[in-house]
């Protein structure tokens, strides 16, 4: 790989230089791919029901990243946020094309954490109702919960991936918690 960089007597020192060089010479893309492949694969795999599907979609993500690289403009957000948005679009497109219900990989601890942040008292009946309620939410709300509670992402990371402000990410998550609390308390009173 070093020979590629030496060809032009130019060794990129920053990620931004690698990105700019990759726009005209695709061989410079390899270090970018190597740097982000594993984390993008994990992001995709958490949203899929099989490893094969996740591998296929991750391949599509990096193909689209490479093909769309000339359109990429550095806006101050990390480059990987742009790649995450491509990954998210590919996952959503996969489910639209297949007309399949989206998969969410969760565990009891994650559900308990949502219940705690919604300031509700945990019990197993409430936990079951929470899972039912999660199945009724639209894509963006599920995505917010996934990133915050199942993937343990900071509000800053969520904001960067969704291309919104950090305070907007916080507001959306806390409004969603209030919505869940309202839905769950209504279902408990029935």
What mean pLDDT, rounded, does the chain reach?
A: 84
Q: Over the stretch 126-175, which tens digit does the pLDDT of each residue have?
A: 777 877 887 788 888 888 988 888 888 899 999 988 889 999 999 999 99
- CATH architecture of the domain covering 2-98: Orthogonal Bundle (1.10)
- At 190 the pLDDT is 45
Domains 2-98 and 108-189 share a fold: no
Q: 31 and 1 in contact (C-beta within 8 Å)?
A: yes
- What is the residue extent of each domain of the chain? 2-98, 108-189
Tell me how far apart the alpha carbons of residues 61 and 7 are, in angstroms, rounded to a whole number. 28
Q: Could you tell me the pTM of the whole model?
A: 0.72
Report the alpha-carbon distance of residue 108 to residue 85 in Å, rounded.
28
121 has pLDDT over 80 = no
- CATH architecture observed for domain 108-189: Orthogonal Bundle (1.10)
Nearest to 28 by CA among 36, 19, 37, 40: 19
**Of 24-33, 73-82, 98-107, 116-125, where does the model show the most confidence?**
24-33
Which string of DSSP letters, residue by residue, matches 3-57? HHHHHTT----SHHHHHHHHHH-GGGHHHHHHHHHHHHHHHHHTT-S-HHHHHHH
- By mean pLDDT, which of 55-59, 96-100, 186-190 is the weakest? 186-190
């Amino acid at each position: 790989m070093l020979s590629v960089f030496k060809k032009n007597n130019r060794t990129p020192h920053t990620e931004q230089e690698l990105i700019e060089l990759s726009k005209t010479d695709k061989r410079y893309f390899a270090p970018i791919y190597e740097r982000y492949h594993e984390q993008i694969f994990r992001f995709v795999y958490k949203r899929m029901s099989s490893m094969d599907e996740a591998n296929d979609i991750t391949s599509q993500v990096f193909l689209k990243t490479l093909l769309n690289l000339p359109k990429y403009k550095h806006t101050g957000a990390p480059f990987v946020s742009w790649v995450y948005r491509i990954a998210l679009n590919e996952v959503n497109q996969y489910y639209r094309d297949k007309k399949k219900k989206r998969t969410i990989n969760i565990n009891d601890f994650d559900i308990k954490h949502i219940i705690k942040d919604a300031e509700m008292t945990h019990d197993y009946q409430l936990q079951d109702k929470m899972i039912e309620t999660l199945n009724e939410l639209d894509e963006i709300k599920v995505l917010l919960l996934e990133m915050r509670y199942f993937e343990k992402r900071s509000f800053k990371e969520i904001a960067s991936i969704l291309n919104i402000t950090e305070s907007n990410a916080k507001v959306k998550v806390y409004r969603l918690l209030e919505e869940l609390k309202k839905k769950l308390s209504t279902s408990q009173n029935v």
